[in-house]
Amino acid sequence: MQKKVIIILGSSRSHGDTRKLIDRVREEIDADFIDLNDLQISYYDYEYKNQEDDFLPTMKMVVEYDKIILASPVYWYSMSGVMKTFVDRFSDLIRIHKQVGRQLRGKQLYTISSSSDSTVYACFLEAFELTAKYLGMDYDGYLYGWIENEEIPKSLIPALKSFIDKLK
């Protein structure tokens, strides 16, 4: 039986603003959770000397889900370094672990992100959209937000509800 939703957090702060958005989403839907800071995932290596790390076992678990959410704060208009390392390793799935990579086809990919700015920039989202397209996944949207005084601002609630509805 397919599992429905998994959220993968890649942030320098496991309990930062992006996590606050994740926790709010998880109050409304049943979603499993992975914090990449809890794993040992090496950088992409053209010689594949990194195969004993946690990437492949993690991906074998992730492909069991219908909806995959990659969550990252916005760092300099891009995903965090932790998330970038994880996404770079998708190259393993198209080169040496093709049987796992092929299982991503048709899955739905989403993004949760946060920053101190109220504007989400297209250059941030394009990396996720194009990754989904390349892997044969459907990019089905994002939740972008910010935290004010340790709270999700009321102006963000409609977007939050709309995002949650997509996941149900």
What DSSP string runs through 93-148?
HHHT-HHHHGGGTT-EEEEEEE-SSS---HHHHHHHHHHHHHHT-EEEEEEEE--B
Residue with tokens 């790390």: 53
Residue 144: band (very low, low, confident or very high) from pLDDT cuts 50, 70, 90: very high
Would you kindly state where each structural domain of the chain is located, as residue ranges? Answer: 3-167
Please tell me the predicted confidence (pLDDT) of residue 81: 97
Please tell me the predicted confidence (pLDDT) of residue 118: 82
% residues pLDDT > 90 (the chain): 92
Determine how many CB atoms are found less than 10 A away from the CB of residue 104: 21
Please tell me the predicted confidence (pLDDT) of residue 3: 75
**pTM across the whole model:** 0.96
Superfamily of domain 3-167: Flavodoxin domain (3.40.50.360)
Please tell me the predicted confidence (pLDDT) of residue 2: 56
pLDDT exceeds 70 at position 9: yes
Please tell me the predicted confidence (pLDDT) of residue 25: 97
pLDDT exceeds 80 at position 1: no
Q: What is the pLDDT of residues 17-58, one digit of tens each?
A: 999 999 999 999 999 999 999 999 999 999 999 999 999 999
Question: What is the Cα–Cα distance from 168 to 128, expressed in whole angstroms?
Answer: 21
Question: What is the Cα–Cα distance from 84 to 72, expressed in whole angstroms?
Answer: 9
- If one compares 120 and 6, the residue with the highest pLDDT of the two is 6
Please tell me the predicted confidence (pLDDT) of residue 116: 87
Mean pLDDT of the chain: 96
